[in-house]
Every structure is written in structure tokens, then in C-alpha cells.
Structure 1
Amino acid sequence: MVVNSVHWFRKGLRLHDNPALQEALNGADSLRCIYILDPWFAGAANVGINRWRFLLEALEDLDCSLRKLSSRLLVVRGQPTDVFPRLLKDWKVTRLTFEFDPEPYGKERDGAIIKLAQQFGVETIVRNSHTLYNLDRIIEVNNNSPPLTFKRFQTIVSRLELPRRPLPTVTQHQIHNIPSLEELGFRTEGLPPAVWRGGESEALERLHKHLDKKVWVANLEHSRVSTCSLYASPAGLSPYLRFGCLSCRVLYYNLRELYVKLRKGCSPPPSLFGQLLWREFFYTAATNNPNFDRMEGNPICVQIPWDQNPEALAKWAEGHTGFPWIDAIMTQLRQEGWIHHQARRAVACFLTRGDLWISWECGMKVFEELLLDADWSVNAGSWMWLSCSAFFQQFFKCYCPVGFGRRTDPSGDYIRPLHPHPEDYPNRYIYEPWNAPEAVQKAANCVVGVDYPRPMINHAEGSRLNIERMKQVYQQLSHYRGLSPSTVPVSSATQTSSLGHRRKGLGRKVRRHHRARGRPAGPVSTAGPPPGSCTCPHAALWLLLQDTGGTFRYAREDRGRRVRTGLLDQDKDPCAGVSS
């Protein structure tokens, strides 16, 4: 029987570690490689020019690699359900292969194509290589539900076998036109040179640079974020993982083997793969949740009553907030398609719970348009995290749009080239030009309110109000799916204490308080004080613990010492895992 194979590239734009492509080659008499460019998707407003340029460069690089093997990449325009009936018939296809897409939209699309292929008698082979693990297996081990804390996710993953080893690159003996930006309707006049060039070749070159950081790999020391960290790194990999130009398994095993070599056989700790595991975590949480990217119908998202403010949203997106740190970040995002994970934290907090009180959905859509590495699952998950809508509830921790930048880059070197208006300000005022004397503003040729906008909000007042809003949301929340005590691991050795210990500690504070006021110092019920009893601050905290399912730490101004609230499950910031 003649085997005519078609491999459908979507993500996974590479020849190395591509199991679906290998399946297409096995015993095949002919192979055609296609990429389907949907005209409707090409005109979608939620994908910006930098992402399109990266994709087209990745396709050009893939085509170049295939031509070296006496093949080529065929770019077909149309919707998959319209394109495949003609291709399967005209090419007499007997086998169709493609990479598994874990996201709900992709699974629905692929299900329709598999049914269509069956009607034509075409064998369909789907293989996973976009994630390290089988996400369905993770969910199965976790009692058929996705783990919704990163610690729980790590626990589940630790029980699984190591990811499969990557496959070798396709070679010539196995193998017997891309549009321009103008054709896609983009205007390229004034478009700066690409900071990130798309393609497998660039991805592998960057991987080698990444692995040259041997001291970091051996010691697991992330250097403190500095001015240099805020610029695009020549060893950055996130866009290449997003488009599949680089296999996550190749990165995983390169890191693993280098660590073992440098540390003389020691097993690498999970933190070495933190970036990859955060990616897997969000993929797992989203794979069976088609509403993961929105509030409505999303069972894990806290329904926070955000404000509707299109004017404020536009100022944030265009970098016209009046805060040079925020504006510089948004300018870099628009120009380059990438920003550092610390910068993502700053602008996400500013838009949502920190200052503007605008829904994370709005910020997610802007990132989806502008970020090269915007991945449906990771992008939505990170925005829910940073807005305290899911996964993370330290709503008392807000990032100051002045102080956060000043600590990272005291001299403002990052701001000056990205935002030319306040570039001539002295260091003292570069983050808050509105506080500069009028003479200083005129000397810098940037008068606030004339040449550069005034701050669109008073940060101190706005953040204080928003913290109270968040507190009210959680006080009214009697039960939050995904953050109930049963799903929050509190027995880990890294935990500060269990919920019971927290309650006991708070009970002692209540008893000491009552003794000071001449009241009986009997035991305090773990159910909290009865209604109508003591109304002291410590008693009020019992109600907060009770109303939120017991997942919060004690938090109060205590003897001049600020104690922040947070989950008993202390997870780190996920953006560190998606932006390097």
C-alpha cells in the first residue's frame, strides 16, 4: 500500500524533537509539510505586527531547513475545515500527522479534522511534544481535577516518570510560499529591526548561549534584577518555546545533563526547571477549561467587580499613564514584543488591583496582541495570578509605580531611551517628574502637563482603596473553588506553619488581649468568636479566616510591624517562568 503522508505544522515549528513529523516519515512513500494560514486569523486585531513578524521568520527558517533536505513548507490559506477536504482528495493522502494542542480551542478544531479525515479513510496520528508531561495524566493522578496550586502541581509531577527524551533532528535520508507582512495588511514603514528573530536556527543558537551560563545552572542563582535584566537577552527563549521553534524536552534535558555534569552526579532540584514547570502548570489548569481566558463561566476565577474605563485602559496600553516606569515598559512591549517578568508584574498590578481597578481580561488581550511569547494558557493564567483572581491571594502586596522601578534601576537608564520626554531629568526626579521644580522641568524641556502627562491616578490613594476592595471581596467569599483547605498543601517542610498552628497562634493573641481588658482567658474556639461577642481586631480576624475557608495568614499592623497577608501555600511569581 502506498503511504502518502501530510504533516500539519501549527506550533512545533522545528525539525528537532518532532515526534509527529517522525510518524509522518515512518514508511512513507511521499511527504508534504503544510502550514495553514487562516485569512480570518491573519486579520485578527489581537495579534500585533511583532508576533506576526516572528511567526513569518519562523516559517521562513523552517522552509529553509526543509529545502536543505530536498523538501519544502507549503503555506495554504484558508480555514482547516475548508482546506483539508481538497488536499486529502487531490494528494491522495493516507496519513495525516500533527502535534497535540492541549488548549480547548485547539482540541475542538483537531477533533473536527480527525472526524473529517476518517470520512476520507485517512489515518490520523497525533503526538505530544509541546509540553513536558501528558496533561491528562497529571489530572488523573490528582483525582481527575487539575491541581490549582503550584506546590500541589510539583507534588503530582514528582510522582510521574521523567519526560520522554527528545527525538533527533530529521535528516535528509528520511525525506524522499510564505506571505509578507504587507500581504497580511500590515504597514511596515518605520518598523524597527527585530530584536527577536524567529526560527529554529535562532532558537538553537540561543539555547547554546543559555547553557553557557554554567555558574547559574550549577548554583541555581538567579542574579538580582538590574537595569541590564530589563533588556531583551540574547539567550532568551520564551518566544521560541511558544512557537515550538525550540522543543521543551530539548531544553529540559540539556539543563538536566549540564547540572549533573557540573555537580558531579547530583540529582537536579525541581527549581532548575521552574520556568518549564510553570508553563506546564498553566497548561494543565487550562486544558479542560474553555473559559480559562475570561471571568464568565470560569470556575477557578474570583468574580471581582472591576471598573469599566476604556479611556484609562487606552492610556495604559499606549504608555501614557504619566508614570515613566509604567510608560517605558509599555513602550518596550509595543516596540519589541517582550518585557522582563518584573516589568510584567509592574504593569499588570498597575492596571488591575494596584491602581486602575480594570479587569485582567483587558490586560490579557493587550498582551495577546503585543507579546511574542503570548501563549493562551500561560498568558491568561499569569493575568489571573497577578490580579489575585486565581492561584495567588496576596492582595496586600502592591507594586509602587515609582519605588519599584527606582529600586530596580536607580539611575533610570532603562526609562530614558524608551520614553524620550523625561529623559533629561536628573535621577532624583526621573521616576516622578511631577515633583521636580518648574525650573528643572523647563531645563529638561519636559513640563509635566504640557510635554508629558500628569499621573493619571494618585497611587497612594488608589492602592489603599483597592486593597479595601479586595479585602471586601474575600470577606464575602465563603468558599473559593481551588483554594479550599483540602487543596492547599500545608504539610510541606518549606511551609511556615499549618493552618492549625496559625489559628492557635491567633488564639493566644486573643487571650492575651482579653486578659489585658480584664476578661476571662479561656480557650478560643477554632470556629471563631460567636456573633455579638468581642469586637476587637483579633476577633475580627477570626471572621476573615472563617469567611475565606481558612486559607489566609494573620495580617495586621502589629506594634508598628507590617505583616502581609498571603496564602499558606507560598508560591512564587509565575512570570519568572514565562518571560526569560
Structure 2
Amino acid sequence: MTDTPTDHPVIVWFRRDLRLSDNPALSEAVKTGKPVIAVYVMETDVARELGGASKWWLHHSLTKLSHALDAIGSKLILRRGKAGEILDDIINQSAADMVMWNRRYAGDARERDAAIKSTLKDRDLTVKSYRANLLSEPWSVETKSGGYYKVFTPYWRAAKDFIDVSDPIPAPTSVNHYGGGIKTDTLDDWTLLPTKPDWGEKLAPHWSIGPEGAHKALESFLDGPVENYADDRNRPDYEDGTSRLSPHLANGEISPREIWHACKDNEYTSRKFLTEIGWREFSYVLLFHHPDLASANYKDDFDKFPWESNQDALKAWQHGKTGYPFVDAGMRQLWQTGWQHNRVRMVTASFLIKHLLIDWREGEKWFHDTLVDADPASNAASWQWVAGSGADASPYFRIFNPFTQGEKFDPNGDYVRKYVPEIAKLPKKYIHRPWEAPQNVLDYAGVKLGKTYPKPIVEHKPARERALAAYKESRS
């Protein structure tokens, strides 16, 4: 008796697409009628490991994906190692003749995928890849001269002719599961959760991980907050001023097409919010054309910049002890929740780069390790934007004032009081500038500058002048 085409299983290789809905690789695999082998590989031959916060999120997201697959009659296989070798092992065990995955765009990942695809095709296997986590491919939106856009506004204007806003693909309700015995690891084998210390416990209350949590967050955001998003997105003291969808997008628990589809009934109100989806797309264009975006200046004239090496200042910034309350609140929010408000990200990044003259790459590394929404494109592109070294970047000489930014966007000091409780009793007049408070006010608030709360590690005006002088020097 000879095998029929459907006797050979199809492998679906999950990556940053940890969902069942709007998952083209999974959908197309199910359509074949073949038995499906769903696999996630913790790759060991990567250029850059996931950060600690991302590993914590991944553990819980894979748990949700495993349960979702169980519910439709499938099973998630977990394996650690080199993806090519693991796929080869599963193919040899199962006689699979098809492999499907959704595309990724970081340089080393693209290279691995291309090598694996070539090797499998040489063995007469069918290999198919799909666009799942972007609205358009990074290479599809070209300028009239055939290049790529380096400025966001014209890019987004042109991209709207290329983005895919068709209806999302429904999640499969059942799967023809491959019943053969395929070896699998357990999540506990991978030790993704932090233990010494277990700072994951403090992150957990702030998030509902998985596709269900993603769609609930989107629904909640579109049920009201989106109406005032253009203004409220700048207010870190507003709990619902932003969608907080970024970690769900970064891990592929929801697709940008699902978000766009949910907004289509009120596209005018949602346009500013959807523009932020556009920024994410633009960041992937930059990453595609500059695979070293997280490690090399996009503009190489910044290679001459006279950065300073100051470990004490770097640690003060990382731990929220700079003496500038708005900056410190942001860095503590990051450590306590795995996330930082976007307005505050610009201010904290500017402070590190321009007030402290510390290389933007040090900040990018810290965010990569501590953000639950650490994204290879968005994180690097955003840090380069603030530094002035990136595409369509804010000019270097735009230096955020860390206390006037707080007074403008946290006018009552609620954000600072939440994350910097040691100065919470200061009146709003001084909450962003405690060094200006009279002694009797400090005494009443229980604040001892230099003891219970640090004095500013640098003075704003001299630091600004130093940054401008350094920039001028790098251009001479």
C-alpha cells in the first residue's frame, strides 16, 4: 500500500506569531488536510538572545498557545537547539514533506530561514513562508527611484497603497493532528522565568498575556480611550491613555491586520493610533535595509561622537536614581512593569544620551533586556531616533528638558508620585524640581536630598551645553 499525499504531515514552525487567528502558515497547513505538527524552537544559534523580560513573557505566551492548540485537537512541540537540525530530526521521525512558517525580518533570522529553506527544497520538500506580522513587506514600498523611504511621512503616505487590510483569517476550529510520538521539551526545561530574584512576580499583575488578553486590551481601548488618543497618549499619568498592545504585537499574539480591522468602523477617530502601527512598519523597513540597526549608527557621521563611559551614571539611570523625578519615574516604571510610557521613553532616552553623554547603544541594550515589548526593529529605530543618528531622526540638538517635560505631561505629579514615592508628599510646584523646594517644604514632605532622594547627578543647563559642544566637536 502506497502513501497518499495526506499521509505525510506538514510542520508549522511558530516564531513571533504565537496565535491561532490570522496566522497564514497555520491556516494554509490546515487547508492541506495533512496531519499537522506544530513546533516552537528555542533557537540557540542566534545573534542576540531574548532579554529577561521577553523570556518571562514568552514562557507564559507559549503556555497560552499550547492550551489553544490542545483545544482544537493539536499539540505544541517544544525543542531547543539549532532550528535546521531540529526540523531535520522531526522530518526524519515523521516523514513530513511540507514545512510552513511566517516570515521574520531581522538579518540573522532571515539568513537562517533562507539557508533552511534552501536545504529543505534541495531534499524535495515543499517550504512555504507567509507575511503575518506586518501590513506590508519591508521591501514592497519603494520610492520613485527604486530605493526605500528614509522619512516616515512620505513612507506612510505611499505605504497605504501597499498595506494589506483584508479581513483577518479566522482561527481554525479543528486540526488533523499528527499522532506520532515526537519528542518535546517542557517549558520548565528552558528556565525562562527569572528566579534570583523572581522579578516576574511584580510584572504579572500588569498584563494579561496571550491572544485573549490582546483582544480584550484592544476592545477596551477602542471602547473609549481611542477617542482622545492624539492628546492622551502623551500623558503618562493617564492609565488608559495608550493601548498597551505593544508586547502583544511584539510576540505576535495579535496581528496588525486584526488591529486595523477592528478600527475600520471608526477609521477617522483611530487614524492617529493607526499611524503608530505605521511607525512600527517603518521601523521594519529600516531594520530590513540595515540589519545592524541595534549596533551601528544609521548615519555613520555619528561614529565620531565622543561618548563618555560612566558606569555610575549609567547605573543611576537604570535604577531611577538620577535626581530628576520624571526620568526616575520612567525608569522605575520600566523595572516594575516591564513597560514604559512612550513619551517618557523619549525623555529617559534623551537624558541618557544627551545629559549623560552615554552611547545610545547602552540604553538600547537595557530596554532590550527589561521591556516586555522589546522588538528588534522598534527598539533600535526609536533609540536612534532620539540620538539623532537614525533615519528621519530628531536632531541631536533637540534635548528634552527632564523637568519641564514632567510639568507639561504630568502636571499634577501623579505619575511621579506613583513611581517615586519617597517624594510623593511634595506639592506639585516642586514635585518635578525638588531641588528648588525650600527647606521647610522638604522637611514637611520628609525629603532629604542626597539621602532619601538623590540630588541631580548633573545640572541641566551645563549638561545641555556639554552635549551641544560634543555634537559640534563630532562635526569638526
Instruction: Please report how far the alpha carbon of residue 178 of structure 1 lies from its aligned counterpart in structure 2 after TM superposition.
Output: 4.6
- Out of 16, 22, 32, the position equivalent to 2:21 is 16
Matches within 5 A, 1:182-261: 183-184=191-192, 186-187=194-195, 189=198, 191-192=201-202, 193-213=204-224, 216=227, 221-223=230-232, 225-226=234-235, 228-229=237-238, 231=239, 235-259=243-267
SS in 2 for 1:457: coil
Q: For residue 51 of structure 1, what is the aligned residue in structure 2?
A: 54
SS in 1 for 2:247: helix
Instruction: Please report how far the alpha carbon of residue 236 of structure 1 lies from its aligned counterpart in structure 2 after TM superposition.
Output: 2.1
Q: Answer yes or no: is 1:38 the counterpart of 2:39.
A: no
Q: Answer yes or no: is 1:65 the counterpart of 2:68.
A: yes
Q: Which residue identity lines up with residue 336 of structure 1 in the other structure?
A: T
Q: Answer yes or no: is 1:26 the counterpart of 2:31.
A: yes
Report the more deviating stretch, 448-457 or 238-247: 448-457
Q: Which residue identity lines up with residue 29 of structure 1 in the other structure?
A: K
Q: Which residue identity lines up with residue 238 of structure 1 in the other structure?
A: S
When residues 173 and 371 of structure 1 are mapped into structure 2, their CA distance, relative to the original with a 3 A threshold, is: closer
State whether residues 43 and 185 of structure 1, in contact with CA within 8 Å, keep that contact through their aligned partners in structure 2.
Answer: no
Question: Could you tell me how far apart the structure 2 residues matched to 1:323 and 1:102 are?
Answer: 38
Unmatched 5+ stretches in structure 2: 179-184
Deviations 1:99-121 (A, max 9, x none): 11122121012112213323543
- Out of 134, 155, 176, the position equivalent to 1:153 is 155
When residues 86 and 160 of structure 1 are mapped into structure 2, their CA distance, relative to the original with a 3 A threshold, is: closer
Instruction: Please report how far the alpha carbon of residue 419 of structure 1 lies from its aligned counterpart in structure 2 after TM superposition.
Output: 1.9
Report the more deviating stretch, 206-215 or 61-70: 206-215
Instruction: Please report how far the alpha carbon of residue 19 of structure 1 lies from its aligned counterpart in structure 2 after TM superposition.
Output: 0.8
Instruction: Please report how far the alpha carbon of residue 369 of structure 1 lies from its aligned counterpart in structure 2 after TM superposition.
Output: 0.7
SS in 1 for 2:302: coil
State whether residues 61 and 201 of structure 1, in contact with CA within 8 Å, keep that contact through their aligned partners in structure 2.
Answer: no
Question: Could you tell me how far apart the structure 2 residues matched to 1:195 and 1:291 are?
Answer: 32
Q: Answer yes or no: is 1:168 the counterpart of 2:170.
A: yes
Instruction: Please report how far the alpha carbon of residue 470 of structure 1 lies from its aligned counterpart in structure 2 after TM superposition.
Output: 2.7
| TM-score of the superposed pair, with normalisation by structure 2 | 0.88
Q: Which residue identity lines up with residue 326 of structure 1 in the other structure?
A: V
Q: Answer yes or no: is 1:436 the counterpart of 2:446.
A: no
Q: For residue 88 of structure 1, what is the aligned residue in structure 2?
A: 91
Instruction: Please report how far the alpha carbon of residue 186 of structure 1 lies from its aligned counterpart in structure 2 after TM superposition.
Output: 2.0
Question: Could you tell me how far apart the structure 1 residues matched to 2:76 and 2:443 are?
Answer: 57
Displaced runs of 4 or more, over 6 A: 40-43
SS in 2 for 1:194: helix
Q: For residue 361 of structure 2, what is the aligned residue in structure 1?
A: 361
Question: Could you tell me how far apart the structure 2 residues matched to 1:407 and 1:78 are?
Answer: 49
Question: Could you tell me how far apart the structure 2 residues matched to 1:43 and 1:232 are?
Answer: 33
State whether residues 195 and 232 of structure 1, in contact with CA within 8 Å, keep that contact through their aligned partners in structure 2.
Answer: no
SS in 1 for 2:307: coil
State whether residues 339 and 373 of structure 2, in contact with CA within 8 Å, keep that contact through their aligned partners in structure 1.
Answer: yes
State whether residues 4 and 93 of structure 1, in contact with CA within 8 Å, keep that contact through their aligned partners in structure 2.
Answer: yes
Question: Could you tell me how far apart the structure 2 residues matched to 1:108 and 1:42 are?
Answer: 11
Unmatched 5+ stretches in structure 1: 263-267, 477-580
Q: For residue 528 of structure 1, what is the aligned residue in structure 2?
A: none
SS in 2 for 1:37: strand
What is the aligned-residue RMSD (CA, Å)? 2.8
Report the more deviating stretch, 240-249 or 313-322: 313-322
Deviations 1:258-305 (A, max 9, x none): 338x9xxxxx8x645201111111101110322211226x45673333
Question: Could you tell me how far apart the structure 1 residues matched to 2:342 and 2:458 are?
Answer: 24
State whether residues 325 and 415 of structure 1, in contact with CA within 8 Å, keep that contact through their aligned partners in structure 2.
Answer: yes
| TM-score of the superposed pair, with normalisation by structure 1 | 0.73
Question: Could you tell me how far apart the structure 2 residues matched to 1:282 and 1:197 are?
Answer: 26
When residues 143 and 3 of structure 1 are mapped into structure 2, their CA distance, relative to the original with a 3 A threshold, is: farther
Instruction: Please report how far the alpha carbon of residue 40 of structure 1 lies from its aligned counterpart in structure 2 after TM superposition.
Output: 7.5
**Higher alpha-carbon Rg:** 1
Q: Which residue identity lines up with residue 8 of structure 2 in the other structure?
A: V
SS in 1 for 2:380: helix
Q: Would you say how many aligned residue pairs link Structure 1 and Structure 2?
A: 460
Question: Could you tell me how far apart the structure 2 residues matched to 1:365 and 1:195 are?
Answer: 23
Q: For residue 181 of structure 2, what is the aligned residue in structure 1?
A: none
Q: Which residue identity lines up with residue 47 of structure 1 in the other structure?
A: G
Instruction: Please report how far the alpha carbon of residue 471 of structure 1 lies from its aligned counterpart in structure 2 after TM superposition.
Output: 4.3
SS in 2 for 1:61: helix
Question: Could you tell me how far apart the structure 2 residues matched to 1:238 and 1:409 are?
Answer: 22
State whether residues 3 and 27 of structure 1, in contact with CA within 8 Å, keep that contact through their aligned partners in structure 2.
Answer: no
Deviations 1:205-261 (A, max 9, x none): 122212213872xx87543733533x476842111111110011111122123338x
State whether residues 326 and 401 of structure 1, in contact with CA within 8 Å, keep that contact through their aligned partners in structure 2.
Answer: yes
Q: For residue 129 of structure 1, what is the aligned residue in structure 2?
A: 132
Q: Answer yes or no: is 1:332 the counterpart of 2:320.
A: no
Instruction: Please report how far the alpha carbon of residue 460 of structure 1 lies from its aligned counterpart in structure 2 after TM superposition.
Output: 1.1
When residues 335 and 75 of structure 1 are mapped into structure 2, their CA distance, relative to the original with a 3 A threshold, is: same
Matches within 5 A, 1:114-513: 114-139=117-142, 141-160=143-162, 162-172=164-174, 178-180=186-188, 183-184=191-192, 186-187=194-195, 189=198, 191-192=201-202, 193-213=204-224, 216=227, 221-223=230-232, 225-226=234-235, 228-229=237-238, 231=239, 235-259=243-267, 271=272, 273-295=274-296, 298=298, 302-303=302-303, 304-353=305-354, 355-390=355-390, 391-473=392-474, 476=476
Question: Could you tell me how far apart the structure 2 residues matched to 1:77 and 1:106 are?
Answer: 16
Report the more deviating stretch, 29-38 or 250-259: 250-259
Deviations 1:398-455 (A, max 9, x none): 2211121122223322122312322232333222222333344344333111222221
Q: Which residue identity lines up with residue 420 of structure 2 in the other structure?
A: H
